[in-house]
Amino acid sequence: MKRFALETEYDMGPCAVALGTFDGLHTGHQMLIRRTIEEAGRLGIASVVFTFDRHPFMILRPDLAPEPLLAPEERRARLEKMGLDAIIERPFTREFAALTPRAFAKLLRDALHPRLCVAGYNYTFGQRGAGNIQILEKLGGEMGFDVIEVPAVTVDGESVSSSRIRALLSQGRREEAERLMAFPQ
């Protein structure tokens, strides 16, 4: 397992990249990462998570920054247990947040050399979240990588999300929240 926090070249060779904040590593995040690992195995390339060292709101809107669902050390430990080849925790800065969607996709292409990027149905990226999964697919087509969109994971008819888990915790519904965060041992 390699772990990087560099801002430039990661030297992974061709890879499949899971994109996301992965702040809670809930069951939806786990499904997305498992899909990345499966596709990487099928293609014979490395599996990589590309995430940030902190929630973007901690820089962009500290007043609205959510409490982490997992401590950074716990998140790293859980990611390592999933069988990935590498975890990239890029420092999230205002300069990084200012990248256009095209500049972000170019950074991915130049730094990671992905053959495939895997992201959730609600993934956004680039300045002010201007990029979405459809834009990533278009940019990937131009830049030489494929994109897989992972649909929402639902439990009891509702999408699993970090926001939902935080709401359950704030309502004192810990068992329900823990069920959405269940992590295989």
With a CB cutoff of 8 Å and minimum separation 6, the contacts of 27 are 153, 155, 160, 180, 181, 182
Quick: pLDDT tens for 71-103.
989 999 999 999 999 999 999 999 999 999 999
Q: What class is the 2-151 domain? A: alpha beta
Phi and psi at residue 127, in whole multiples of 5°?
-50, 125
Task: Name the token pair of 33.
Answer: 């990462």
The number of beta carbons lying within 10 Å of the beta carbon of residue 156 is: 8
pLDDT of residue 24: 86
Which residues are registered as beta bridge partners of 88? 4, 50
Quick: pLDDT tens for 139-161.
999 999 999 999 999 998 999 99
Helix (H, G, I), strand (E, B) or coil at 116: strand
